[in-house]
Structure 1
Amino acid sequence: MDQENSKKVFVIGVGNLLLGDEGIGIHLIREMKKELLPRNVELVDGGTAGIDLLYWLEEADYAIIVDCVEAGAVPGAIFRVPGDELLIESTGQLISLHDINLSEVLLLATKMNKLPPTIIFGIQPEVIGYQTELSPTLQNTLPRLMQLIKKEILKIFA
């Protein structure tokens, strides 16, 4: 087996399933489990892991993280941000909705020399509230998001 085919790619969905659109990352992982993906792609339900994301980041050769972000954009907007750019933008508008900011986890992983090449897909929510379903807007966004993530995976293995 050559080195390129042994890359470990982790797709990590984070969020809270009890808060509507905040759970987009988890909904995405559940949908992607129905797809045929390269064998070295691991789908991770990161829940509201926060600092525990470090474990998955240090195990990965590449990471794709999916999260709900408040960016003041149109609901359903998808942002693709390289992890190292999120570190720079951590004082800007792009903010994770978790207790520990995603950019803080990435910064810590960088300082520990554990951050693999990482892409973050952030999705602007429409509804954050006590419900287990995504809003219709984000349900309609889910297929496009899956398509973008599969495209990202193909780029890694190209």
Structure 2
Amino acid sequence: MPDFEKRIVVIGVGNLLLADEGIGVHAVNELKKESFPSSVEIIDGGTAGIDLLYLLEDADSAIIIDCVDAGTEPGSILRMPVDELMLQKPGQAVSLHDINLAEVLSMAKSLGVLPQTVIFGVQPVEIEFGTELTAAVKNTLPRLVQLVKEEISSLII
């Protein structure tokens, strides 16, 4: 990769066994079907939790896709700069993982490995055992993928 290219990581996180909680992984699976420059890495972060630090540390920019409970209309897509997510109060737009996304990002910032980061969150309908997305979240998937592709384009020099 030439020196002038920024390394961009797109990380989809979530649990495919908990219905809508898997939206991030479903989204990166769709993105992997697309063609991007070699400087863009599409990553299935699954339920990585603290291991996300390793995925972020050498990136210039990061896009994280996750299920986010913001109390909005099911299937709603939220785009949040990292600082906005880290400022959330308990009970507001947070990831639904054991160690939440805001905590991982805060650690990355403290360690000096947090790249320019934006989060795309999707409001779930259901977080229960099941491998299928609910209709509202599934219908959101094409728009989510398009928004992430637009974000990637804005980051490529």
Q: Quick check: TM above 0.5?
A: yes
Question: Which residue of structure 2 lines up, in the alignment, with residue 43 of structure 1?
Answer: 42
SS in 1 for 2:88: helix
Letter in 2 for 1:55: Y
| Percent of residue pairs bearing the same amino acid type | 58
Q: For 2:64 and 2:120, locate their aligned partners in 1 and report how far apart those are by CA, in whole Å.
A: 6
Hey, which bits of structure 1, 4+ residues long, moved more than 2 A? 1-4
**For the aligned residues, what is the CA RMSD?**
1.3
| AA partner of residue 57 (structure 2) | E
Q: 1:90 to 1:113 in 2, by over 3 A?
A: farther
**Alpha-carbon distance in structure 1 between the residues aligned to 2:89 and 2:106:** 9
Aligned length: 157
Please identify, of 124-133 and 49-58, the stretch whose mean Cα deviation from structure 2 is larger.
Answer: 124-133
Shift of 1:3: 3.9
Output the CA distance in 2 between the equivalents of 1:85 and 1:112.
19
Instruction: Please say if residues 88 and 94 of structure 2, whose CA atoms lie closer than 8 Å, have aligned partners that are also in contact.
Output: no
Q: Map of 1:28-67 to 2, 5 A cutoff?
A: 28-67=27-66
The alignment status of 1:79 with 2:78, answered yes or no, reads yes
Amino acid at match of 1:87: M
The corresponding residue for 1:138 is 137
Instruction: Look up the match of 1:110.
Output: 109
Query: Residues 53, 90 of structure 1: CA spacing in aligned structure 2 closer, same or farther, 3 A cutoff?
Result: farther
- In structure 1, distance between residues paired with 2:59 and 2:83: 16
Counterpart position of 1:157: 156
Matched, 1:147 2:146: yes
CA distance in 1, matches of 2:18, 2:43: 19
| Letter matched to residue 56 of structure 1 | L
Structure number with the higher helix fraction is 1
TM-score, with structure 2 as normaliser: 0.95
What's the CA shift string for 1:40-64, capped at 9, x where partnerless? 1111111111000000110211100
1:2 Cα offset (Å): 5.5
Structure 1: where are the runs of 5+ without partners? none
SS of structure 1 residue aligned to 2:133: coil
For normalisation by structure 1, the TM-score amounts to 0.94
Aligned twin of 2:23: 24
Check conservation: 2:85, 2:94, Cα contact below 8 A: no
SS of the equivalent of 2:68 reads: strand
